Every structure is written in C-alpha cells, then in structure tokens.
Amino acid sequence: MTHRLRFRTGRGLVLLCALLGTLCETGSGQIRYSVPEELEKGSFVGNIAKDLGLEPQELAERGVRIVSRGRTQLFSLNPGSGSLVTAGRIDREELCAQRAQCLVKFNILVEDKLKIFEVEVEIKDINDNAPNFLTEELKVKIGELTIPGTRFPLKTAFDPDVGMNSLQNYHLSPNDYFSLAVNSVSDGATYPELVLERTLDREKKEVHRLDLIASDGGDPIRSSNLCLQVIVLDANDNPPLFTQPEYHVSVQENVPVGTRLVTVNATDPDEGFNAQVTYILDKMPGKIAQLFNLDSVTGDIAILKSLDYEDSMFYEIKIEAQDGPGLLSRAKILVTVLDVNDNAPEITVTSLTGSVPEEDTAGREIALINVHDRDSGQNGQVTVFVLGNLPFNLEKSIDQYYRLVTAESLDREQVSEYNITLRATDGGNPPLSTETHITLHVTDINDNSPAFSESSYSAYIPENNPRGASIFSVAAQDPDSDNNAQITYSVTENTHQGAPLSSYITINSNTGVLYALCSFDYEEFRDLQILVTANDSGNPPLSTSVSMSLFILDQNDNMPKILYPTLPTDGSAGVELAPRSAEPGYLVTKVVAVDRDSGQNAWLSYHLLKASEPGLFTVGLHTGEVHTARALLDRDALKQSLLVAVQDHGQPPLSATVTLTIAVADRIPDVLADLGSVRTPTNPDDSDLTLYLVVAVAVVSCVFLAFIIMLLGLRLRRWHTSRLIQAASSRLAGTPASHFVGMDGDVHTFWKTYSHEVSLTADSRKSHFIYPQPNYADTLISQESCEKSEPLLVSQDLLAPKRDPKLLEVSYFSF
C-alpha cells in the first residue's frame, strides 16, 4: 500500500512537470523540449505548430510528420491542437538507463517544402523507483576473534533513477555490536560496510539479525530493506585479495561466443578452508549476466552472447572473491568493445516525387533521402552517389539528409522513365555498401509536331472509280504521348476547276484514309493537288502539312470516233472515186479517227472487215489509208463497198466501224450514168441517197456548162474559134470534176478544193486537163495522200491551127 500511494503521488508530480515543460529553439532548425517520464499517452509535450510558424490545421495540409530512424515512435502529432504529444508511456530508465541526461532526437518533416527540423526532447527523471537489493537476505559470517573496527562489505542496492532520485543513503537498524560505514569511490558509487564495534562472543550469541535500509533523495523518499544475518564463526581474519582492483580488456565486437576475455585471481593468506576462494559475478541488473560468464573456480571471464558495438561500446563487470568462511573482496573488469565494419549503410527515402515534367529547369527536387551507418569512426563515414551517367545530382541538406535533384532538363522523347540507383558506401576496410532504387516518370508536354514519313506523297486512282472508294492512306507519327500524340487528319480547303476540293475527296480524321466523293474522269482532269494536315490534341495543338499529288489513271472507256468519212445525219451518202486507170497502191481515200483516251488506250489500228471485191483494196493498219491492191479491171464493179473497223488497244479493246462506197470510173459522165443504175431495191434509204447524188452531179454539170457558154460568147467573132470551143466542150462533158462527189453538199471537217485548168491551144492538137492536188484543212492527212495526181492529157485536132495561138483557161471550183 505504501508503494502504491507513493506512486500515485509521483503521478501528480509528473502531470505538474508536463504543464511546466520548457521549450527553446536553437539555430539550424533545432527545437528542444523537456518532458517528465511516465506521462500518459497523449500528454502534451510542446506546441510544435507554433514553433514551426504554422497554424494547427496546416500540419495535415502541409504534410508535417515525424521522421525517426530505427526505434519505436515515442511521440506523435495532434493535428487538432498542433501539439507534440506522447505516443505512449515513456520509461526513462528503459530508454537511457542511468545516463545523467536522457535525450530523444527525431526530425520533423514539412513535406511540401522538403524542410527538416531537428527536435530534441529531454526526458526528465521522476522518483518512480525505490532502491532495491537483489536479494532479501544476506548472510555474513564473522569469526569470533575478529577485532572491533573490522569492516565487512555488504550488498549494494540499485536504484535506476538518477540524480537525487537515485540511491543516496544507507541506514543500519540499531544494535549493540555493529555500525554502518558508507564508502565512496571515484565514480561516485557508494558501498555499505558493516563495522564491528565490539568483539563477538559466539557462546553468547551465535547469530545477529540486522536490517540494512537503502533510501533515495526523492520526494517522497523511497527505500528498501536487506535482512542481514550475521553468523559468528571461528577465527578467519583474512579475506581474499585480487591481484588488481580493476582489469581492463579490449575486444572486437565480432569475437566468437565462448572466447575467454580475462582470468582474474584472488589470494587468501589463511589456510585450509578459510583460504578456499570462490569467484562470484555480481549480478547487477542489465545484460551483463547474459553476456558474460565467470568460472567460480578458475576465475575465467568468457562471452556467452555475441557483442555488438552499436548496442554498447563499454561494459563494467563487478566480481567478488569469497573465501570459505565467507570473507570477500571486490574488483572490476572494464571491457571496451572495439568497432568492426559489420554494418552496411542504411538509405531511407524520406520523401519522394514520382514524376517530373519534361523540359523543367535543372534543380527540380525529386526525393529527400537519409543515410546512416550504425558503425562508428571511419566505419561510419558514409558517402552516397548516383550510379550511372544519369542527369541527377545529390545535394547535402542538414545532418545526414540529401536532396536528389535534376542536373538538367529532361526530355521524355529520349527517356520516359528513369531507374535511379543510389549507392551508399562506408569508409571501412573492406567497405560495405547499400543500394536503393527510385523510379522516376517523366511526364509529357506537347513539344513535338506530328511528322509524316515522306515530304510529299503521290497517289493513283483509276478513273470511273466508285464513290467512296479508298484512295490512299497517310500516317504521321508524334513522339509525344497520350493526348499530345493523338493525331487528327484534315484536307486544306481549296478549289479545282471552280469546284471546292471537298466535293472531290474527303479524309478520315482518325485513320488518315482518303476517300473519293465522286467518280473521276481522266478526260476532264488528270490530277489533283491536295494539302493534308496532321494536328495533335495537345494544348496548344501542333500541326504539320504535307502535299499530295493525286493522279487519275486512264481507263479504256471511250471508243474511237471516226472523223472522216463522217457519218451522214440527213440520209445523204458519200462516194469515193477511184479511176479505172489507177495502178496498184493508188491512194483512194483515208479513214481518220481519234480516241479521247490516252496512252495505249488511244493507239488505233485499222482493219478491213468486209469488201464487196476481196483483194481489190487494202487498208493501212496504222494510217487508215485505203489503197488499191491491184490494177482495176473492166470487170470490176463500179460500186465497191468496204467495211472498215477502227480499234484501240485498251483492255478490253473498243472499236467503231464505217462503210466506204468507192465508185470505179474514169469520167464523171460515166459516174453519173452508172450511178443511176446502182440501186438496191431492197433498201429505200440507198435509193434516196442515189437520187440525191444524181441531182447534185447534174447541178454541178449545169453550172459548168453555163460557164463554158459564157466563154464561148466572147469568141463569137471568130467562127473557127467558136467551132473549136464547141468541139472542146463536147469532150469536157465526160471529164470527172473531182475525186469526191458529195451529194449532200457538206463534207464537214475535211474540205477539198478542186481547181480544174482547161488549156486549149490553137496550134496544137492536144489539150490539157490539170487536176491539182486537193487542199485539206486537216493536218491528220498523211503526206502520201497529198501526192499530185497525174495530169489528164486530152488529144484533139484543132480546126484552125493557123490562127493566133492564144491559151484559153477554164477554171472551176467545187466544194
């Protein structure tokens, strides 16, 4: 009950101390608090928000958090009040043992600014522990011959508190034989000794029972009792003595378990049982009894468990040497643990930014890291660096913190993701190192325009294509990502032959496929010039344009068109004239045709399909010229019909036909006389055509005769001249006027002009009819067809040869 009451009273003092906690802020972002131990969870430590210059609600908004390394979190942040509070019960003795000052250090991170503040909290001791003897009873054996003033060392009490709260005094219960002496040593520790005041008499009293009271200086004072049982023995007046009061040993932390550190030795000048020395390890609280073993007979100190320099670098082992009767002496073994490089550096990523935009300026913070090595000295000196040739630097912050920043602007199109390896290496021999990996994504900005694979494109499409036919597909690449790489295609609006370009073609904005909106005709136009634009979806969007030439390919969709001879539309007919005197190879006429197509589709060839007189005429394969194949005979019919086909070289080939009618005669009257009988009763159209032809020839003859009569009237004064003219006119009546007689009076494209010169002389019996070469208005007629015909020589005896030889010219023209 007494201990419980004191504890509660101590709790009240703890709360009072908590309210009176002090705060001081030092330079370099260091904040210091003090707080008593044993506070309840959530107890106030300090107003951290105020000391950071923040409002309480900003703690969560700005990512303020505690960063500690490798230990249980003792404190936490109260985001409501902005206070630093305890995260649980804090036991100073457990945390710092008996160190005079117990300091807990940790860091406060303001994450949005990547600032670190060092916080130091001093844990104040309270009197929550009473001095304690590790045993409840101690037997002390004293020889009866022991002289007064002899001192007997007693067991010491242990108080884990520090300062005035630690062990301060020893008291001995009142008695007649003993008193208490307290000795202090150099390190401030006190050891109680039982002092014999009077000679003992075993026969009077064999056992003396005393109480040794240990008390501290706290408020209230705490104490504990040790029951002393003094047994009076026969004379043994010499305790064992160690060869030295302190033993110093240095050992590396990696020595194997079972290694002997040192052997202690104590001697007793007594003899027999009184001189038998036993070594005892003073069982002080802590890990000493778990780490070290003392052989009670040999005095060998050995290691029970592995040593760790990082846990403790120094151990103080207290030992006793006791003889048979119970006299003892004490000594210390001071063990210094030497550090070896057995701990690799530790890398802790305190704060991390997972992505950074490309083309950002150098010095952009990526991560805040902390490095630490539990070793000491050179073994704990850590250097950290970035592996590989990467565009990142490490900048020193406070303490062992480093900032990972960019060394230059990043380009996502070159590297979109970085795997950053940080390596920390200590200065041990051999050195130990640790690596950690950070993945950094480079976010995209729209800094690249779409790019076509070609600087220009050419596409081809056959004419007469169906509407909606696919023409060509263009594709552009954008090295950006996401929306910045989504490309849409469009065609720049323009006009062609007065019509908008959009009426001819369209483009799929997503795929870049061009489609025809109409059926193209090669004969209308042969190419289109198009400008295709690729736009990305960035902000702002970027675009690139490329030119495209769309060529229309010709198809064989037009049949040959015959220009000569023209097909009559009014029912009239045309006849070609071939004189019977024509020799083989004589050019009778020429079939002229054109084809609107081009290339091979417009290459024409001429073929004679049918002839009324086979073998009489031939048709030039490429010229279309109709020649006589042999000399004309009298038995050959006057009217010859030829069916001529004109065919192109397309696939499939197209053709047209025309029927030629050739009259075989030497003189026009023969033609007129014979044409009257050339009829086909079964075809009324042919009869009408013959009638028109006869009428036309008659009219031409009448005009010719009228002209001759006019000339004869001018020569009436001369009789013999008149007779000569009359004789000549009778002969001219049978001479053909032209090689072509058009009954309808229209020869359309190909006009012929015939000039007949009649030369009559008075001193010659021969007259000349000269048929000059007809003039053609079309240049498609070959040179062969333009050769001059042989002049027609007419022999005649003139009636008046003695008259003045004057030349009479008679010219007429027919169309």
pLDDT in tens, 365-404: 999 999 998 888 888 889 999 998 999 999 988 888 999 9
Q: CATH number of the domain that 159 lies in? A: 2.60.40.60
Closest Cα partner for 658 from 559, 562, 781?
A: 562
Instruction: Flag whether pLDDT at 777 surpasses 60.
Output: no
Whether residue 467 sits in one domain with residue 436? no
Residue 131 lies in a domain: no
Instruction: Flag whether pLDDT at 61 surpasses 60.
Output: yes
Give the separation between CA 306 and CA 312, rounded to whole angstroms: 12
Question: Residue 303 contacts by C-beta under 8 Å, 6 or more apart in sequence?
Answer: 251, 255, 256, 257, 258, 259, 261, 291, 292, 293
Give the separation between CA 233 and CA 142, rounded to whole angstroms: 5
Residue 575 lies in a domain: yes
If you average pLDDT over residues 634-662, what whole number do you get? 90
Whether residue 614 sits in one domain with residue 541? no
Domain end residue (candidates: 440, 459, 477): 440
> What confidence category does residue 772 fall into, taking pLDDT thresholds of 50, 70 and 90?
very low
CA 77 to each of CA 88, 202, 619: distance values in angstroms, whole numbers, following the listed order: 12, 68, 113
Question: Residue 175 contacts by C-beta under 8 Å, 6 or more apart in sequence?
Answer: 208, 210
Q: Phi, psi (5° rounding) for residue 794?
A: -115, 120
CB 598 within 8 A of CB 604: no
Q: Tell me what pLDDT residue 18 has.
A: 38
**140-159 pLDDT tens trace:** 988 888 889 999 988 888 88
Beta bridge partners of 211: 227
Lowest mean pLDDT among 91-95, 349-353, 538-542, 673-677: 673-677
Beta bridge partners of 169: 215
Give the separation between CA 157 and CA 753, rounded to whole angstroms: 155
Q: Tell which wins on pLDDT, 619 or 28.
A: 619
Q: Phi, psi (5° rounding) for residue 16?
A: -65, -40
CA 506 to each of CA 99, 308, 497, 522, 550: distance values in angstroms, whole numbers, following the listed order: 88, 81, 17, 19, 13
* Helices (runs of H) and strands (runs of E) counted in the chain: 8, 59
Domain end residue (candidates: 629, 653, 668): 668
Q: How many domains does the chain have?
A: 6
CB 675 within 8 A of CB 663: yes
- pTM for the whole structure: 0.44
Instruction: Flag whether pLDDT at 788 surpasses 60.
Output: no
Grouping H, G, I as helix, E, B as strand and the rest as coil, residue 697 is: helix
Q: Tell me what pLDDT residue 13 has.
A: 36
CB 646 within 8 A of CB 656: yes
* Furthest-apart CA atoms within the chain: distance in Å: 220
If you average pLDDT over residues 310-319, what whole number do you get? 87
Lowest mean pLDDT among 193-202, 340-349, 558-567, 806-815: 806-815
**257-271 pLDDT tens trace:** 999 999 999 998 877
Give the separation between CA 538 and CA 484, rounded to whole angstroms: 4
H/E element holding 618?
strand 617-619
Q: Tell which wins on pLDDT, 404 or 672.
A: 404
Q: Tell me what pLDDT residue 567 has.
A: 67
Question: Residue 606 contacts by C-beta under 8 Å, 6 or more apart in sequence?
Answer: 591, 593, 619, 620, 621, 622, 623, 624, 644, 645, 646
% of residues, the chain, pLDDT over 70? 79
Look at phi and psi of residue 701 and say left if phi exceeds 0, alpha if psi is from -120 to 50, else beta.
alpha
Q: Return the structure tokens found at 593.
A: 């045709």
Give the separation between CA 604 and CA 614, rounded to whole angstroms: 23
**What is the residue-averaged pLDDT of the chain?**
79
Whether residue 545 sits in one domain with residue 491? yes
Give the separation between CA 531 and CA 396, rounded to whole angstroms: 56
- H helices present in 198-328, as ranges: 288-291
**94-123 pLDDT tens trace:** 788 777 788 888 888 888 888 888 889 888
Whether residue 404 sits in one domain with residue 351? yes
User: DSSP assignment, residue 39?
Assistant: P
Q: Tell me what pLDDT residue 226 has.
A: 92
Q: Return the structure tokens found at 738.
A: 């032209």
Task: Using DSSP bridges, classify how beta strands 365-372 and 346-352 pair: parallel, antiparallel or unpaired.
Answer: antiparallel
Beta bridge partners of 183: 191
H/E element holding 290?
helix 288-291
**273-298 pLDDT tens trace:** 888 999 998 776 667 788 899 999 99
Whether residue 208 sits in one domain with residue 177? yes
Q: Tell me what pLDDT residue 331 has.
A: 93
Domain end residue (candidates: 553, 585, 611): 553
Q: Tell which wins on pLDDT, 10 or 391.
A: 391
Q: Phi, psi (5° rounding) for residue 294?
A: -115, 120
Q: Return the structure tokens found at 729.
A: 């006119």
Residue 132 lies in a domain: no
Whether residue 663 sits in one domain with residue 566? yes
Residue 27 lies in a domain: no
CB 249 within 8 A of CB 334: yes
Beta bridge partners of 329: 321
Cα-based angle 29, 30, 35 (whole degrees, multiple of 5): 145
Tell me the DSSP string of 751-801.
---EE-EEEE-SS-SEEEEE-PPPP-S-TTS-GGGGPPPPPEEEE---S-T
Instruction: Flag whether pLDDT at 754 surpasses 50.
Output: no
Q: Tell me what pLDDT residue 697 has.
A: 83
Q: Phi, psi (5° rounding) for residue 544?
A: -140, 140
Whether residue 511 sits in one domain with residue 575? no
Instruction: Flag whether pLDDT at 72 surpasses 90.
Output: no
Count the alpha carbons within 13 Å of 417 in the hemisphere toward its beta carbon: 6
Closest Cα partner for 718 from 633, 806, 659, 812?
A: 806
Lowest mean pLDDT among 191-200, 308-317, 663-672: 663-672
Grouping H, G, I as helix, E, B as strand and the rest as coil, residue 588 is: strand
Instruction: Flag whether pLDDT at 169 surpasses 60.
Output: yes
Instruction: Flag whether pLDDT at 782 surpasses 60.
Output: no
Q: Tell which wins on pLDDT, 617 or 750.
A: 617
Q: Tell which wins on pLDDT, 136 or 750.
A: 136
Instruction: Flag whether pLDDT at 67 surpasses 90.
Output: no
> What confidence category does residue 545 fall into, taking pLDDT thresholds of 50, 70 and 90?
very high
Instruction: Flag whether pLDDT at 88 surpasses 90.
Output: no
What residue has token string 């503040």? 117
Whether residue 120 sits in one domain with residue 154? no
% of residues, the chain, pLDDT over 90? 29
Q: Tell me what pLDDT residue 206 has.
A: 85
Give the separation between CA 597 and CA 637, rounded to whole angstroms: 39
Give the separation between CA 580 and CA 616, rounded to whole angstroms: 12
Q: Return the structure tokens found at 793.
A: 């020589």
Count the alpha carbons within 13 Å of 366 in the hemisphere toward its beta carbon: 30
Q: Tell me what pLDDT residue 702 has.
A: 87
Residue 436 lies in a domain: yes
User: DSSP assignment, residue 177?
Assistant: S
Whether residue 549 sits in one domain with residue 569? no
Q: Tell me what pLDDT residue 711 has.
A: 77
Q: Tell me what pLDDT residue 812 has.
A: 29
Give the separation between CA 731 and CA 291, rounded to whole angstroms: 161
CA 723 to each of CA 55, 704, 757, 768: distance values in angstroms, whole numbers, following the listed order: 147, 18, 20, 18
Grouping H, G, I as helix, E, B as strand and the rest as coil, residue 693 is: helix
Task: Using DSSP bridges, classify how beta strands 505-507 and 513-516 pair: parallel, antiparallel or unpaired.
Answer: antiparallel
Whether residue 534 sits in one domain with residue 456? yes
Give the separation between CA 402 and CA 350, rounded to whole angstroms: 10
> What confidence category does residue 424 fall into, taking pLDDT thresholds of 50, 70 and 90?
very high
If you average pLDDT over residues 784-801, what whole number do you get? 34
Closest Cα partner for 595 from 522, 539, 517?
A: 522
Which structural domain range is residue 574 located in? Answer: 561-668
If you average pLDDT over residues 321-345, what whole number do you get? 89
Question: Which amino acid, residue 347?
Answer: I
Instruction: Flag whether pLDDT at 806 surpasses 80.
Output: no
Q: In what order do the strands lie in the sheet with 470-473?
A: 470-473, 513-516, 505-507
CB 261 within 8 A of CB 301: yes
Q: Return the structure tokens found at 47.
A: 């107003």
Q: Tell me what pLDDT residue 321 has.
A: 93
Whether residue 458 sits in one domain with residue 433? no
If you average pLDDT over residues 206-221, what whole number do you get? 89
Whether residue 218 sits in one domain with residue 201? yes
